[in-house]
């Protein structure tokens, strides 16, 4: 059974950093387009960042550009989201998602309806 498991969330002060990890079982993440999405209370799920399958091209929402970095570690079958200069508005549950087609990149990186596999999410809280 395919599983995506996120980790690394927690409570951090504004301006701080966190690194989220996404581990996979039963699939090889290198063969998938991977996205990080987030959902804050009372808000719609939104795309944060995506990484392409073949050329590892990256995509970012305007709200996180220059602060967040998505990356892969093929040897460990992991994907990461490095989050720096965190703001209270970054508070949300963050989800790892995998799509075997490039549809997840549409928007860019906002077509969550195209996702084949979802993790259960990890909570990030940015607060004093």
- Model pLDDT for residues 102-128, shown as the tens digit of each residue: 899 888 898 888 899 999 999 999 999
- Burial group, residue 48, by CB count within 10 angstroms (0-12, 13-18, 19+): buried
* Distance (Å, whole) CA 92 – CA 39: 5
Phi-psi region of 121 (alpha: psi -120 to 50; beta: other; left: phi over 0): left
In angstroms, the CA 125 to CA 114 distance is 27
pLDDT, residue 112, reads 87
**Is the pLDDT at 84 greater than 90, yes or no?**
yes
Is the predicted pLDDT of residue 5 greater than 80, yes or no?
A: yes
Residue 101 has pLDDT above 80, yes or no: yes
Nearest to 20 by CA among 101, 92, 112, 104: 92
pLDDT in tens, 29-80: 999 999 999 999 999 999 999 999 877 899 999 999 999 999 999 999 999 9
For residue 108, what pLDDT is reported? 86
Element (H, E) at 107: helix 106-109
Rounded Cα distance, 4 and 87, in Å: 26
Give the pLDDT score at 107: 87
Beta strand 10-12 with 33-39 is unpaired
With cut-offs at 50, 70 and 90, classify the pLDDT of residue 28: very high
């Amino acid at each position: 059974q395919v599983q995506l498991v996120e980790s690394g969330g927690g409570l951090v002060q504004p301006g701080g950093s966190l690194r989220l990890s996404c581990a996979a079982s039963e699939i090889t993440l290198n063969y998938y387009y991977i996205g990080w999405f987030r959902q804050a209370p009372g808000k719609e799920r939104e795309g944060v960042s995506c990484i392409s399958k073949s050329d590892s091209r990256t995509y970012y929402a305007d709200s996180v550009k220059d602060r967040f970095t998505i990356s892969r570690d093929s040897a460990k079958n992991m994907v990461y989201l490095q989050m720096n200069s965190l703001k209270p508005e970054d508070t949300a549950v963050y989800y790892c998602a995998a799509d075997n087609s490039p549809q997840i990149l549409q928007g860019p990186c906002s077509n969550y309806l195209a996702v084949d596999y979802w993790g259960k999410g990890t909570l990030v809280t940015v607060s004093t």
